Structure 1
Amino acid sequence: MKSSKNNLRIGIAVAIILGTIGWLASSGYKSSKSYYVTIAELAGMGDKAYKSNLRVEGFVQPGSIEQNGTHVTFMLNEFESHNPKAPNGRVLKVSYKGSEPPPDTFKDDSQALAVGTYGRDGMFHANELQAKCASKYAPGQPGQPNQAQPMTPNKTASTSTPAAAAPTAN
């Protein structure tokens, strides 16, 4: 009789532990899941936009970056500023409050990816910010002249080092 009572208690404890682990895994998965959307898609999401973790991509509008330490506010445009569609492109105001400053490649017209939530105030609240290198680093199109500058040799490096050039004493 005692052994069946102990087995029942152990079975209940194991079920509670496994249920708790399953619930924690499920809720952790749901909270870490984020949807990738463009600025145009964000505008059409409705109430779902306010309830989801999102990843929004666009181009940093020139002159819109306001930085105060690690806090940055800027505007994302769905088109680069030199694109003829840019003046008519959708714009999203982004407020980034992260533990690290934005990357060095985060500049005017750079392609940026903001991860966070969309607020009812019309601002995207990002907790993570990524920036791609500017398009000037991309390889040229076939048939266009190469825009890359030739590399100049480093004057501090030479084929003979001072140690190798010094006479040795026997």
Structure 2
Amino acid sequence: MPNPDRKSPLKIIIATVLILGTVGYLAVTGVRDNKSYYVTIGELQKMGNKAYVRHLRVAGNVAPGSIQRAGTNATFTLLEQGRTLRVTYQGSEPPPDTFKDDAQALAIGTYGHDGVFHATQLQAKCASKYAPATDQKPTTTATALPVAR
């Protein structure tokens, strides 16, 4: 006679498979939804309909005089190898302090059918801060030291 207090191993196996399947499904869909592709402005303009359904990252230099701020939002133009891209940023935080004319910027968001990149995240670094100095002369000179024998 079977013991009624003993759990069936089949029920435990089925419950384990269901739990692991659910966790696996959530992991795969979560990664897919958070994945963003890095593209250049030229690549973005050649993507066709694929550009409208993907989460993207686009980088370029901020065109001088193109920044228009409105609270925590901003509209500006990115430049990259002679190509331009209009960007609207609507984020929960204002653009970073380094976001200025000629700064290198990375916009993260989606490309709209209106031809505008709609960014929800914005990163920038000041180009002048990281550029090598071109007008300075080297301050050190190489001197041969005598070798002790």
1:145 corresponding residue in structure 2: 135
- Secondary structure at 1:47's aligned position in 2? helix
Residue 123 of structure 1 is matched in structure 2 by 116
Question: Secondary structure in 1 aligned to 2:8?
Answer: helix
Asked if residue 52 in structure 1 is aligned to residue 54 in structure 2, the reply is: yes
Out of 28, 31, 34, which is 2:30 matched to? 28
Tell me the amino acid that sits aligned with residue 63 of structure 1: G
Over the matched positions of the two proteins, sequence identity in percent amounts to 61
What secondary structure, in the 3-state scheme, does the structure 1 residue paired with 2:23 have? helix
Task: Note the alpha carbon deviations across 1:62-96, whole angstroms, 9 max, x for none.
Answer: 111111111111111114xxxxxxxxx22111111
Structure 2 counterpart of 1:112, one-letter code: A
* C-alpha distance in 1 between matches for 2:32 and 2:135: 49
Q: Identify unmatched segments of 5+ residues in structure 2.
A: 138-149
User: Could you say what secondary structure the match of 1:24 adopts?
Assistant: helix
1:53 partner amino acid? H
**Aligned match for 2:101, one of 108, 111, 134:** 108
Which amino acid in the other structure matches residue 131 of structure 1?
A
Deviation at 1:46, TM superposition (A): 1.2
User: What amino acid is aligned across from residue 24 of structure 2 in structure 1?
Assistant: G
Q: Distance in 2 between matches of 1:137 and 1:29?
A: 33
How far did residue 3 of structure 1 move? 7.5
CA contact (8 A) 2:100 2:126 kept: no
Q: Find the counterpart in structure 1 of residue 42 from structure 2.
A: 40
Superposed displacement of residue 31, structure 1: 1.1
Displacement, 1:4?
Answer: 8.2
| TM-score scaled by length of structure 1 | 0.73
What is the alpha-carbon distance in structure 1 between the residues aligned to residue 73 and residue 129 of structure 2? 27
Q: What amino acid sits opposite 1:31 in the alignment?
A: D
Tell me how far apart the structure 2 counterparts of residues 136 and 26 of structure 1 sit (CA, whole Å). 40
2:25 counterpart letter in structure 1? W
Secondary structure at the residue paired with 1:72? strand
Partner Cα distance (2:100, 2:61) in 1? 9
Structure 1: runs of 5 or more not aligned: 80-88, 148-170
